[in-house]
Amino acid sequence: MSSTVAAVPALGPALPEIVLALGALALVLIGAIRGDRSTGLVNAITVALIAAAGVMVAMQGGGKVSTFNGAFVVDGFARFMKLAMLIGAAVALVMAGDYMRKEKVHQFEFPILVLLSTLGMMLMISANDLIAVYLGLELSSLSLYVIAAIRRDDVRSTEAGLKYFVLGALSSGMLLYGASLIYGFTGSVSFAGIAKALQGEAGTGAIFGLVFILAGLAFKISAVPFHMWTPDVYEGAPTPVTAFFAAAPKVAAIALLVRVVMTAFPGITGQWQQIVVFIAIASMGLGAFAAIGQRNIKRLLAYSSIGHVGFALVGLAAGTAGGVQGVATYMAIYLVMTLGSFAVLLSMERDGEYVETIDDLAGLGRTDPVMAFVFAMLLFSLAGIPPLAGFFAKWYVFAAAVEAKLYALAVIGVLTSVVGTYYYLRLVKIMYFDEPKAAFEPAGGVVRAVVLASGAFVFLFWLWPAPLVNAAGAAAKSLF
Amino acid sequence: MNAAAAFFYLFAGVTVASAFMVVASRNPVHSVLFLILAFVNAAGLFLLMGAEFLAMILVVVYVGAVAVLFLFVVMMLDVDFAQLRQGFLNYLPLGALLAIVFFIELALVLTTRFVDPKAFKAAAPAAPKPDMLVTNTEALGRVLYTDYVFFFQVSGLVLLVAMIGAIVLTLRHKAGVKRQDIAEQVARTKATAMEVKKVPSRQGV
């Protein structure tokens, strides 16, 4: 009988993930021993762990390394997206501290669940086979369902959690069904194996599977027609949780989508391109028109995020290295703009209560000129007005689409962008020209710092765009 | 008829009979008990096929966990099954239709197998030759903790999240509930726990 000892897989490439996983286990112990008094400590350690993982990701070498029999890959693209996602997660968590204390949410499990979700997203970004995709997605999504409902005595929060859970389970089912079809028709779960089996032409079965996988992933990035959960979940979940939802999971899911279509289905680009073009147009259109009637800023930002996912997908639809570079740049800039907007939302506190309708912004230009100016800049940037960062984000994806001869897509993108400008400008108008309401209470130092930093980023991006754009370009090249 | 065939008919017969009783019995608790009987016999069938791992999993997971959960639910929820059954006949046509479709599918598979064995072989991938020296459990263990260790560990984390989530969302510490405090129990001494009273005769305390 053979008793060969299997070689231990190389753990080096997955070191940041291992640190996060072990950290999460240790934090569960700390929390269980010290109880809810430890929330502040657990929160601080979680932020430190995410920062440490970010440093480790940044320090990882330049090449492409895979481990665990090719199920886990680290390349330039993974590093770029992981860094962006980790920054989003850390900032959202730092901003959550104040809010959670004031709203009396002091379960120590909240930062731990954020940490586990972050770990799941890192696995998603590095996933290189269908099993890893599913496990990473499930790890991150399950944690997200729970933190959406973390205020369990609040009806809207529990409703958000439940809605997210039910629809998320449905989308996971679709993804799994697609994955099983792909496995059945190609005989492989690894992306390289699938790509090899699908060279040239693909049978109906494989395309069926591709459609189901894309549908499952479109749900996670809340692209139309799988966006229905987004406004309700964004509105119902506590604001810092919404900030986290809008930032980190979007980046991770877009990265996963890009990697799946680029490395597993490069042979049938024509097939997935149609789907991506359709969901891009539908998302941009719905994001532009549905946001017009919204009174609640969180719902408005939800529709705005649907639209922005549509714009990012324009770059993916191009299917070129330039397009992927555009997507990476777009997601990085979107992340900063979103975190800034939610930081503004988190500083809207009046009489000890957080307010979130757009009428509460009235007259902010006079009561808090700095905040109003920065928020106006963020909104102009979200609308894509030059010379702010949001304009460059759109520029890169539209340029890629034009280069790939997707003229109609680019034109529709620009038109919906113009429609979208209306509701961003309306917010600016309310801030500067409406009768002022009572001033907000002074925001916490961290939240204000995030507002100012994101404002500075979008305002000064045009001076020095090269580092981000070049990093995104290098990241995109590693996929081809 | 050799012993294996005899056992097959025994297990298969009991499985079918108890499956029928799951649907037919009036008392829901009996239904669940018949379900357990069906599971155990199905495990026996797996054993006859040499799939000892599946047989054990069936007993451990389905009998040990799922069926016991069913029993708890049936006993605690007090569902009025008689009432649930009232509309049973209305659904009979739909149920019959589903049964017929399922039967036709099974018949198609079986007839293909007997009528045209070649087509059946072409469609199914060649099964790996069973290595008689290695049991199923060992074969699974060999890959589960080596080739698939990554997936195994991540699955563990997913389960951890499920556990944390269930606790966060449902556990409530109520005030005024009596709980066992072992430290306090152990710390009791004779002095704190007992009081000796002198009771005078014929007067009581």
Say whether residue A123 is in contact with chain B using an 8 A CB cutoff.
yes
Lowest model confidence (mean pLDDT) among A101-110, A225-234, A310-319: A101-110
pLDDT at residue A475 tops 50: yes
Contact B168 A21 (CB under 8 A): no
Closest CA to A211 of A275, A302, A130: A275
Mutate to test the interface with A, among B131, B164, B170, B171 (most CBs of A within 10 A): B164
Share of chain A above pLDDT 90, in %: 71
Query: pLDDT tens across A83-92, in order?
Result: 999 999 999 9
Chain B residue closest to A17 (CA)?
Answer: B154
Secondary structure class of A75 (helix, strand, coil): coil
Which element (helix H / strand E) includes A349?
Answer: strand A349-350
Q: Mean pLDDT, to the nearest integer, of A285-289?
A: 92
Tell me the shortest Cα–Cα distance from A143 to chain B, in angstroms: 6
**Average pLDDT over all residues of chain A:** 91
Written as one string, the DSSP assignment of A430-465 is HHHHSPP-PPPPPPPHHHHHHHHHHHHHHHHGGGS-
Q: Is residue A435 within 8 Å of A363, Cβ to Cβ? A: yes
CB of B169 less than 8 A from some CB of A: yes
Which residue of chain A is at minimal alpha-carbon distance from B146?
Answer: A6
Query: Which A positions 412-441 lie with beta carbon below 8 A of chain B?
Result: none
User: How confident is the model over B154-179, as a mean pLDDT?
Assistant: 89
**Residues of chain A contacting residue B169, judged by C-beta atoms under 8 Å apart:** 146, 149, 152, 161
Query: What confidence category does residue A201 fall into, taking pLDDT thresholds of 50, 70 and 90?
Result: confident
pLDDT digits (tens, 9 = 90+) for B3-58: 889 999 999 999 999 999 988 888 888 888 999 999 999 999 999 988 889 999 99
Q: State whether residue B152 sits within 8 Å of chain A by CB.
A: no
d(CA A251, CA A89): 10
First-to-last C-alpha distance (Å) of chain A: 44
Residue in B149, B161, B169 closest to A139 by CB: B161
Amino acid at the residue A407? Y
A113 and B164: CB-CB below 8 Å?
A: yes
pLDDT tens by residue, A449-463: 999 999 999 999 989
Model confidence at A4, pLDDT cuts 50, 70, 90, reads low
Strands A65-67 and A72-74: antiparallel
In this prediction, what percent of chain A has a pLDDT beyond 70? 99
Look at residue A39 in the predicted model and tell me its pLDDT: 87
What ipTM was assigned to the predicted interfaces of this complex? 0.92
Give me the pLDDT at residue A2, please: 47
The answer to whether A152 contacts B168, with C-beta atoms less than 8 Å apart, is yes
Mean pLDDT on A98-104: 84
Closest approach of B67 to chain A, Cα-based (Å) = 24
Please say if the pLDDT value at position B104 is more than 90. Answer: yes
Quickly state the pLDDT bin for B197 (edges 50, 70, 90): confident
pLDDT in tens, A393-438: 999 999 999 999 999 999 999 999 999 999 899 999 999 998 888 8
The CA distance from A70 to A127, in Å, is 9
Residue B124 near chain A (CB below 8 Å): no
The DSSP secondary-structure symbol of B59 reads I
Q: Is the sign of the CA dihedral A236, A240, A246, A250 positive or negative? A: negative
> Cβ distance A158 to A118 under 8 Å?
no
**Helix, strand, coil content of chain A in percent (nearest 5):** 75, 5, 20
pLDDT band (50, 70, 90) for residue B117:
low
Residue A344 pLDDT: 92
Task: Collect all residues of chain A within an 8 Å Cβ-Cβ radius of residue B168.
Answer: 107, 109, 113, 146, 150, 152
pLDDT number for residue B25 = 84
- Report chain B's mean pLDDT, rounded to a whole number: 84
Chain A residue numbers with beta carbons less than 8 Å from the beta carbon of B157 are 21, 24, 116, 119-120, 139
Q: Do A72 and B150 touch (CB under 8 A)?
A: yes
Q: How far is B88 from chain A, CA to nearest CA, in Å? A: 29
Q: Is 80 exceeded by the pLDDT of residue A199? A: yes
pLDDT band at B112 (very low <50, low <70, confident <90, very high): confident
A131-170 per-residue burial string, b: 16 or more CB within 10 A, e: under 16: bbbbbbbbbbbbbbbbbbbbbbebeebbbbbebbbebbee
The residue among A46, A146, A172 with the most chain B CBs within 10 A of its CB, best to mutate, is A146
In tens, the pLDDT along A376-401 reads 999 999 999 988 999 999 999 999 99
* Among B133, B143, B157, B174, the residue to mutate for chain A (most A Cβ within 10 A): B157
Cβ neighbours of residue A281 under 8 Å, at least 6 residues apart? A310, A409, A412
Q: CB-based contact (8 Å) between A143 and chain B?
A: yes
Q: Which residue has the higher pLDDT, A153 or B133?
A: A153
Instruction: Please tell me whether residue A293 adopts helix, strand or coil conformation.
Output: coil
Please check the confidence at residue A294 and state whether its pLDDT lies above 80.
Answer: yes
User: Which of A36, A68, A119 to mutate: most B Cβ within 10 Å?
Assistant: A68
Cα A184 to Cα A188, A205, B61, distances in angstroms: 8, 9, 27
State whether the Cα torsion B146-B150-B153-B158 is positive or negative: negative
Is A139–B157 a contact, with Cβ atoms under 8 angstroms apart?
yes
Q: Do B165 and A150 touch (CB under 8 A)?
A: no
Residues from chain B that touch A146, judged by Cβ atoms under 8 A, are 161, 164-165, 168-169
* A49-68 residues touching B, CB cutoff 8 A: 68
Plot region of A448 (φ>0 → left; ψ -120 to 50 → alpha; else → beta): alpha
Residue in A226, A275, A281, A220 with CA at minimum distance from that of residue A252: A220
HSE-CB at A466 with a 13 A cutoff on CA atoms is: 2
The pLDDT value recorded for residue A63 is 82
The whole-angstrom distance between A129's CA and the closest CA on chain B is 11
Question: Which tens digits make up the pLDDT trace of A44-62?
Answer: 999 999 999 999 999 987 7
Confidence band, pLDDT 50/70/90 cuts, at residue A1: very low
pLDDT at B78 over 90: no
pLDDT above 80 (res A288): yes
Residue A195 has pLDDT above 70, yes or no: yes
- Chain A touched by B151 (CB under 8 Å): yes
Interface of A with B in 19-38 (CB under 8 A): 21, 24-25, 28
Q: A172: closest CA among A205, A203, A129, A139?
A: A139
Residues of A in contact with B145 (CB under 8 A): 6
Q: What is the pLDDT of residues A6-52, one digit of tens each?
A: 677 888 889 999 999 999 999 999 998 988 788 889 999 999 999 99
